[in-house]
Amino acid sequence: MLRALALIFLFPSLSLAQPDPEEWLFSQPFMPHQGRLGLHVQPMTPELREYFAVAPDRGVLITRVEPGKPAQRAGLRAGDVIVQAGERSIRRPADLVLEVARVPAGADLSLRVVRNKKEETIVVQPEGEASPWIDPEYWRDWLDKGMREGSRELRQKLEDLQRRLDELERRFDEERRERERDMHRT
């Protein structure tokens, strides 16, 4: 009981499970908060894929196009479904973010879009600089090494903590037994 409370107190959010590198990366505060296209997308449900006549494993729905941004200038609209960006099939919003991040400043990006149940290609030029560092592949070696090294370090710290807790528990038991002996002597 004492050990469990100490671990909960010292490591309230302790999890030894390795996070998915892509999920971890997209949850970090250093991720770009401004898009380079000026559009908002959402994942597709099976019902939306059926309604928009999109393949069962592809597409993100454009829900908003910001005025004056590259997406609007290229002719993208809310209700369009992006199914491919460059050579990458788009299955979820993160796929689009990663593909847009790779495009160098001033370069074009071809988007395959389903509009009115028909596919067409729209070329857009993302604004700003490329951000290849947001691609998990860019970080995979670093993350994998960090997870391995961090896991070893965490395991070592937990083992040290366990030894210290065992020692404290042993001392606590000795002091309790000593008090009990003193009580019986009187």
pLDDT tens profile 33-65: 458 999 999 999 999 999 999 999 999 999 999
For 22-28, what is the mean pLDDT? 52
The reply to whether the predicted model has a pTM over 0.85 is no
Please, what is the average pLDDT of the chain? Answer: 81
Q: Are 122 and 88 in contact, with CB atoms under 8 Å apart?
A: no
b/e 120-157 (16+ beta carbons within 10 angstroms → b):
eebebebeeebbeebbbebbeeebeeeeeeeeeeeeee
pLDDT of residue 160: 84
Residue that is written with structure tokens 């210290």 in the block = 164
* DSSP H helix total and E strand total for the chain: 6, 6
pLDDT of residue 142: 65
For 170-174, what is the mean pLDDT? 90
Identify which of 5-9, 26-30, 137-141, 179-183 has the greatest average pLDDT.
179-183
34 DSSP 8-state letter: S
In this predicted model, what pLDDT tens digit does every residue of 60-112 receive, in sequence order?
A: 999 999 999 999 999 999 999 999 999 999 999 988 988 998 899 899 999 99
